Structure 1
């Protein structure tokens, strides 16, 4: 038996980070079993945006900032820090050119799971870039000796506020996520379509609750103005709050964006919308009740398509 001193590299983006919760759990379970104390020391290297979620997950003993916005000097300082820490194994779940560079700069070398040339536990599948993120990372861990990777469990991230506190009622509600990366407008389903779904939900006694970032407030307001019962929470919820809301929501619909991963993995019946700007085979939200609507043009999916998909998932007519 030995002491396990493990580093995991996972920088972002949000959807990718959420989908790494399963690998985080698998690495924790595996190395706790190997550690002479029953508790491995596991450090996460990530960006400040995800430090809070990482802490809330409970998987890590230490969280480091990768400092990628601070220049080459910061990179060298980070590599020195990694060398001094004497990690017994590194799991590079980012598998980028930058994270692979850490391996080549690190001295002395340590066990390394990733795609860096010459590493001890390579994920060598030549089709890895055509695999869904969850499947790819599970295979990477199998190649490193970790047989079982559970599905990501975001429920452990639920916030301290209740859904009733955030919404002001215990009436049934559904979640809408109309935003997406601002530099990729083709990933956004038309606001008019979301507005029609909001009206359909309201007619069924289900309150539409609109989620998004502060910058997406105008978009959320446009949808809310079309349905008087809709609640605009854009800019008013943390990522932890989104999980809390998802756990009690009747349904959800949204674009290919990070919050939809939190919602769908929480078990909410969810419809995720895709056009040609992203490939659901590689990055679609997963969960026990998820329907993916994909096609060349995201605007071609009609509100009736969403209604039908939700009916199959949740028995709603």
Structure 2
């Protein structure tokens, strides 16, 4: 490892945040093909980062509360001893800005982020009004790196043949963050959509996290023949199911970012609770549908938007 430039990339957040960061991470690897690159991220994304091939090492930072002083001291020591020549802070939070202070003045690495004093500081005062991918593009440009084309992420897949999926199906993703129920299209509307799709010969597979299992079971109970796989897949199987779907329909939630990232045709439903200009999945096959109160969005309107993909 001696002689190799050592780079640190920082990214925490929810699934959608980490999936979107794979694009700038790919650009960073392309800019530093021979470097030893370490990712600092949260526990749930270790396997994702390791399989990506973008990083030589993955360090875990589960962002413990401030009173966990010993843990913070261990992290500070580890970062200082990492020998990093440059840090790409893709999180750019108050917390990770503070990590810059873990390094002693005069011995700090080059820093691409928002920390005061950073060598490559992204100081656009409007950055919080930018979509995450636009922020990444601007931030990397400060360091002389272009975002480039979206990576294909062929590695983000799994053999799902054992699941015996229907030959043709739509993926429904009815969940959202547990503390954000206003971001969810009602379960009965998902069921209405699934029954309408069944009439055109398209099966439905319901996906989500373990926390979404009651919601998924409610929908499956209203749709004869629907496959309920919520909480029963890891990220790679989830990606494999999404890759093979005719399309995906879901709320503003992480798995829809995963669907867009693997190239699945996707219809994302937004309420007034979030702004698609800032957080929507992006891709050539991504469509958005917004209603301030998703309870006012009827299934016929959603079905009409899907007519190009499922006549």
Q: TM-score, length-normalised on structure 2?
A: 0.94
2:50 aligns with one of 42, 52, 55: 55
Equivalent position SS for 1:234: coil
Q: Cα deviation per residue 1:152-211 (whole Å; 9 max; x = unaligned)?
A: 54442212x22x322x14520110000110111101100011001110111111111000
1:25 aligned to 2:22? no
Q: Which has the higher helix share?
A: 1
Contact 1:197 1:303 in 2 (8 A): yes
1:154/1:194 Cα in 2 relative to 1: closer, same or farther (>3 Å)?
farther
Worse-matched range after superposition: 169-178 or 271-280? 169-178
- What residue is the counterpart of 1:98 in the other structure? 95
Which of 267, 277, 283 matches 1:281? 277
Shift of 1:69: 2.1
Secondary structure of the residue that 1:22 maps to in structure 2? helix
In structure 2, what is the equivalent of residue 147 of structure 1?
A: 146
* Deviation of the 1:269 alpha carbon: 1.4
Mark the CA change 1:202 to 1:185 in structure 2 (over 3 Å): closer, same or farther.
same
1:8 maps onto 2:9 in alignment: yes
CA positional deviation for 1:215: 2.2
Residue among 239, 249, 257 paired with 1:253 = 249
Cα distance in 2 for residues equivalent to 1:129 and 1:287 = 21
Tell me which residue corresponds to 1:272: 268
For the Cα contact (< 8 Å) 1:173–1:209, is it kept in 2?
yes
Question: After alignment, is 66-75 or 182-191 more displaced?
Answer: 66-75
Distance 1:155 1:17 in 2: 17
CA distance in 1, matches of 2:227, 2:262: 21
SS in 2 for 1:261: helix
Q: Tell me what 2:128 maps to.
A: 129
State yes or no: 1:224 paired with 2:220: yes
* CA apart distance, 1:266: 1.5
Whole-angstrom CA distance in 2 between matches of 1:193 and 1:267: 25
Is the CA contact (8 Å cut-off) linking 1:247 and 1:266 kept in structure 2? yes
2: distance between equivalents of 1:169 and 1:188? 25
Q: What runs of 5+ residues in structure 2 fail to find an aligned partner?
A: none
Assess if the C-alpha contact under 8 Å between 1:214 and 1:234 holds in 2. yes
> In 2, distance between residues paired with 1:239 and 1:135?
25
TM-score (norm 1): 0.93
Output the CA distance in 2 between the equivalents of 1:148 and 1:7.
18
Q: CA deviation at 1:241?
A: 0.8
- Show structure 1 runs of 5+ residues with no match: 33-38
Q: Is the 8 A contact 1:23 1:150 kept in 2?
A: no
Give the aligned CA root-mean-square deviation in angstroms: 1.4
Give the total of aligned pairs: 305
Q: Secondary structure at the match of 1:221?
A: helix
Distance in 2 of aligned mates of 1:185 and 1:154 = 31
CA distance in 1 between counterparts of 2:58 and 2:145 reads 22
For 2:194 and 2:180, locate their aligned partners in 1 and report how far apart those are by CA, in whole Å. Answer: 24
